[in-house]
Chain A
Amino acid sequence: MKRDFIFQKIFSLAVLSTMLCFMQPTLAKNSALKAAYVYQFCQYIWWPDDKEDLNIAVVGGQNSDFESIAGSIVDGKKLKVKYLNSLGASNGGFDVYFFFKGSEDIFNKMVEVIPKGALTIADEGFAADKSDAVLYLVRVGTKLKFSINQDVAKTNSIGFNSRLLKVAHPVEKTTVNKGLIKKQGFNNRVSDDRVDSFVAKR
């Protein structure tokens, strides 16, 4: 009986340690999915003809999140990925900006230096002012979808392929969430009626 007991303990430890072996960081899957979105977006945006590379700034994530698309060629243009985690002099001059959830502060401060014509994309669950990002990811039911801020796109002279417009999750006019949005730290520069028109239907 005693030998049995020791055997059980040893085997149990073996099973547990096998389980713990898997506890190593592996490639983040959700960021791979988001990277794939950025890859698709780059394909359906009208870029100026003279652009050779597309410089992508990834703000607030891990330094390997967009590895899967770095170096890919879209429409003859090479995707170059740079990871930004704080405010710095080099924050301007990118063609695409992706803001991960949690980088709201940086987003609000960076808005000033983002060049006109740059494509800004906000993560799902992004609490800051979505109406300043051209595109944003949004969870709809069991899916991860995206919506377009048409007005912001227009102000920034960004043109979309109609396929992007067709697939985008529709933005519906609603006033119900206005108070909540303000509480969540929506940018004060945006007037109430602009908020009204940019709240996505959940």
Chain B
Amino acid sequence: MKWFLPFFLAIISHYSFAAERNYLDFSLEQLVDYDIYSPPVLQSHIHWAGELMVAYHYSHTRTDGMGSAETALSTHDVFNDYTYMVTPTAMNMDMHMLHFMYAVSDQTTYMLRLHHMAMEMEHETRMGGEFTTQSNGFGDIAISMNHQVNEWSDHEGNVRQFVHASLLLPTGDIDAKDTTPMSGGGQVQLPYGMQLGSGSYQARFGLGVDKLTAKDSFGAFLMAKGALDKNDAGYRIAPEASLDAWYQRSLSNNFSAGLSGSLTWRGDISGRDDRLNPNLVPTADRDNYGGQWAEMGASVSYLIDGTYRVGMSASLPVWQDLSGLQLRKKSVIELILELTL
């Protein structure tokens, strides 16, 4: 819980230093080139007062093959080195996200996020059998705020500072069940990673900075997220922290392309769900969660009529260091549709 404190203090202190900036330093040429739309990065997304935005994101995340620390392991390796009866071999997650944003002022935008997930995990047993488990449903609803605390301009463009705060509500299911060859036709509790929600209230805080110039924009965002307490199943999901950096370049008035990089750290699950047998499959053992990931991505975005934005992005891990034994991340593909009113 202690990690909350610095973020909380940072937000409060940023707030008290909030300064006005003006555009009078801009030349006429800079004014006509100034991007009045926030770059297509959700964390530093703010709108002009009164604007309403609805955004739909679809993402497909693929994990494939097992690994431990930085090493990839084959199914054969897993059954040789460990005593588990079953190992996952791959997992696909399809997520549909709906964001509603409303700007109460030119500095503050509130967001509501709803998302639906469908997960599918493929397994192999020690005897050579294969089976798949599935779960799907709505996840934890998030209520968020992006607030621009500061903005100043230099001869090249505008620098903005942001704070982000979110409250995630435990609306997602933590009792998702499915049948397995070992369950004798009955429904059994699915492991932590196949659950749709966290079961706890979670808070997320972030600090960001970006710079918008006539031709490009770039920025970085630091975020931390954690559950406030254990859920009804007796565990608390792993806290997470990430650092994102991105660069966007306008190729025309409407078209932009970008590159991004991220570092993610995920801690351990605390407590345990007693409905799971940690000796059966790695995913049921809370020690096989957490790790560190470095990812790189590319994106394109096209603005139609100043109202719609369509975009696409893809990212790949360039480095991963996994705690215990778990699936390795392969790729994330995302499609974005935004409507600003």
Contact = CB atoms under 8 A, between A and B. Distances in A.
Interface of A: 4-5, 7-8, 11-12, 15-16, 18-19, 21-30, 32-33, 35-37, 39-40, 44, 68-69, 72, 139-146, 163-164, 167, 169, 202
A25 B256 CA distance: 32
Given A143-B35, A144-B34, A167-B28, A25 B105 contact: yes
A111 B32 CA distance: 27
B26 interface: yes
A141 B105 CA distance: 22
A142 B254 contact: yes
Given A142-B303, A164-B28, A16 B23 contact: no
B193 interface: no
Interface stretch (B71-79, B106-114, B173-181, B323-331): B106-114
Contacts of B37: 142
Contacts, number: 125
B152 interface: no
A143 B34 contact: yes
B28 A141 contact: no
Interface string B36-79: 11000000000011000000000000000000000000000000
Given A22-B107, A22-B108, A40-B28, A15 B203 contact: yes
B81 interface: no
Contacts of A16: 143, 167
26 contacts: A11-B201, A11-B203, A12-B167, A15-B166, A16-B167, A18-B8, A18-B165, A19-B145, A21-B15, A22-B107, A22-B147, A23-B110, A24-B105, A26-B108, A28-B106, A32-B21, A36-B22, A39-B24, A40-B26, A72-B24, A142-B36, A142-B250, A142-B254, A143-B36, A146-B32, A164-B28
B318 interface: no
B252 A141 contact: yes
B107 A26 contact: yes
A25 B48 CA distance: 12
A11 B228 contact: yes
B250 A12 contact: no
A15 B165 contact: yes
A19 B165 contact: yes
**3 smallest A-B Cβ distances: which pairs?**
A141-B253, A29-B106, A36-B23
Interface string B82-105: 000000000000000000000011
B228 A145 contact: no
A8 B31 contact: no
B22 A40 contact: no
B33 interface: yes
Interface string B301-312: 001011000000
A160 B20 CA distance: 31
Contact of A15 (B21, B167, B254): B167
Contacts of B256: 142
B23 A32 contact: yes
Nearest to A36: B23
Contact of B32 (A18, A30, A145, A202): A145
A143 B253 contact: yes
Contacts of B104: 23
Nearest to B254: A141
Given A22-B145, A69-B24, A167-B28, 4 more contacts: A29-B107, A40-B31, A68-B23, A143-B35
Nearest to B305: A202
Contacts of B27: 40
